[in-house]
Amino acid sequence: MANHKSALKRIRSNETKRLRNRYQHRTTRNAIKKFRELTKKKDAEKMFPEVVSMIDRLAKRNIIHDNKAANLKSKLAKHVASL
49-52: long-range contacts (C-beta < 8 A, 24 or more apart)? Answer: 51/76, 52/76
Q: What homologous superfamily does CATH list for 9-82?
A: Ribosomal protein S20 (1.20.58.110)
pTM metric for this prediction: 0.86
Q: What per-residue confidence (pLDDT) applies to 1?
A: 74
Q: What per-residue confidence (pLDDT) applies to 2?
A: 80
pLDDT digits (tens, 9 = 90+) for 17-66: 999 999 999 999 999 999 999 999 999 999 999 999 999 999 999 999 99
